[in-house]
Amino acid sequence: MMSGERFQQDAPYLTELRRDMLRFASLQLRDEQLAEDVVQEALMAVLAGEKNFSGRSAMKTWVYAILRNKIVDAIRSRSRTVNVSALSQEDESLDQAFEALFKPNAHWQPGSQPRAWGDPEAALHQERFWAVFDACLKHLPENAARVFMMREFLEFETDEVCAELKITISNCHVILHRARNGLRQCLEKTWFGAGEQAC
Amino acid sequence: MLKCKEVTHLLSESQDRKLTLAERLQLKMHLAMCEGCTRYRQQLDFIRRACRAFAGGEDGPDHSA
């Protein structure tokens, strides 16, 4: 068993962990200072705590659970001032890129069919993939990214996302679809682009 | 018969709500015949796994291993 205090002595590991947490938090908050603050608070809670962990992975799960809560709090206190249903120019251009994938009869354009991504699981172990993933997430329009990350990173149920952000469930589905497709097209273009073309 | 564009919406929604029986049957029929939409589904599934990993899961960006 390892205590928070033991982890404190593992400086290289903590540095890596802190960097990943910062990346996670700043993507969602889009505010570097706020991200620094929530990561600091989450790490302090772990390092100061009496709780024992069976290893790094258990500690990581725990610290991310705390980090999630801190991010949720930050989003809640801010969501009153954000209008998520407003359609930005970036949203519109993402929608146009989606529409361009289809023929007028709403089936795939021959050249735009989703490609085979080979063995995508292998990408999860590659450092460079995460840099691309990160860049694609940053590339999403702000509102789409916010809804998507609440759903996928913070694992809110869809109706909770709607309630928090005061949007209708159907709008929520539209936004999530926009974000997923945007991310998919970005990954296909920048990471899986070399994959074989669908026939 | 569902069109590919509608299928992409249903596939996304299937990650957020339980589809109706009718929707599931139509989707199944479409996917059996459409390679593009089948790949679309695999890609959305992969994106969800990547997000879970990114959010502090086992795989994720982690250099300690």
Comparing alpha-carbon positions, the chain B residue that sits nearest to A180 is B44
Number of Cβ atoms within 10 Å of the Cβ of A15? 11
A 11-70 residues inside an 8 A Cβ radius of B: 13, 16-17, 20, 23-24, 56-57, 60-61, 63-65, 67-68
What range does the domain containing A50 cover?
Answer: 2-79
Residues A38 and A114 in one domain: no
Q: Would you say residue A109 lies in a domain?
A: yes
* Contacts of A73 by beta carbon, 8 Å cutoff, 6+ apart: none
Q: Would you say residue A196 lies in a domain?
A: no
A 103-132 residues inside an 8 A Cβ radius of B: 105-108, 113-117, 120-121, 123-125, 127, 130
Residues A150 and A116 in one domain: yes
Residues A56 and A14 in one domain: yes
Q: Would you say residue A198 lies in a domain?
A: no
Residues A93 and A183 in one domain: yes
Residues of A in contact with B6 (CB under 8 A): 106
CB A39 within 8 A of CB A67: yes
CATH label of the domain that carries residue A38: 1.10.1740
Residues A57 and A97 in one domain: no
Q: Provide the whole-model pTM.
A: 0.85
The two beta strands, A52-53 and A2-3, are antiparallel
Q: Structurally, how many domains does chain A consist of?
A: 2
**CA distances for A149 relative to A76, A161, A174, A197, B65, angstroms:** 14, 10, 15, 30, 26
Q: Where exactly are the structural domains of chain B?
A: 4-53
Longest alpha-carbon distance in chain B = 50
Structure confidence by residue, pLDDT tens digits, A85-112 = 788 999 999 999 999 999 999 999 999 9
Q: From first to last of its 199 residues, what are the pLDDT tens digits of chain A?
A: 666 666 667 788 888 889 989 988 988 888 899 999 999 999 988 888 767 777 777 888 888 889 999 998 888 887 666 677 788 999 999 999 999 999 999 999 999 999 999 889 999 988 899 999 999 999 999 889 989 999 999 989 999 998 888 899 999 999 999 999 999 999 999 999 854 444 3
> Domain boundary at A79, A114, A148, which?
A79
Residues of B in contact with A139 (CB under 8 A): none
> Domain boundary at A52, A79, A106, which?
A79
CATH label of the domain that carries residue A179: 1.10.10.10
Residues A103 and A69 in one domain: no
